[in-house]
Amino acid sequence: MTFEEFKTYFNIKNFNLDKVRNKIREFNHVQRFSLDNYDDNESNTESLNFSYASNLQDGPKYSFPQNIDWTSLMQPVRNQGSCGSCWAFATAAMIVGVWKRCNSGFSDFLSTQQLVDCDTSNAACNGGWFEGAINYWKSTKPLRDADYSYVAYKKACTIDTTKALDIRIDGFKTSNESTSLYALLLKGPVAVAVWLNSDFQNYKSGVFFGCDTNNTTSNVNHAVTVVGEKYLTFFTSYWIVNNSWGTGWGIQGYMWLPVRYAPLDCNLSMYGYQATFSN
């Protein structure tokens, strides 16, 4: 497919980011990030008290304190098909990963179709955003994918509340640069947005350096889930990214994106969301 055909098939559209940016500013210190909002008495976050983003212009001078890989917590790579529901897949994958990390006996996958059909704050196959999806599952408990299966188009919302899972979401945290994204990632997967181009469409393997360096905007048009960060060489660390285009794309459905300033990281570090849970 041409890139235009590809975008049409997956119904890829630019997100409206004005409200999103304001919300993120409410949650983060834009000029000076503080780990106080993220640290749950984990000693390994203490060494993050340096300005990591300021050292990324010519490649990172430091690696993060530890590699992270939550791939084992992820549900099998899904395929959203001809429906712009990437926001629902990224949100569901993030929540499953974080919940499974804290609840080792949990083995269910959440219903993305429930979000497509029932989350009226988003636009089903015409796009959506993480905040609305998280808040929907905060007020209405999620169902298993097996109980509300994905069909890749919007249909009537039909919920059997007797089958709802007891997952108690009480809010979310956000990140807007690499250090805060890493701090969230210590707790589990993070739903993020990226700016994709035709090279992104054709990605096969390795660390992807194909983001448009002339694109100085902060636009994004696709949602994915960051599930890890690894140090590769002195100049290259990369994020491990879970996508929703099936296992035939990328590394069995995954991608490696460089830990760099936006837009070299496809703007991945700018819009991170992770749900929080009550006991």
Q: Which two tokens stand for residue 228?
A: 């890890």
Show which residues are catalytic: 86, 222, 243
**Radius of gyration of the chain measured on its C-alpha atoms:** 18
* Beta-sheet pairing, 222-233 with 236-242: antiparallel
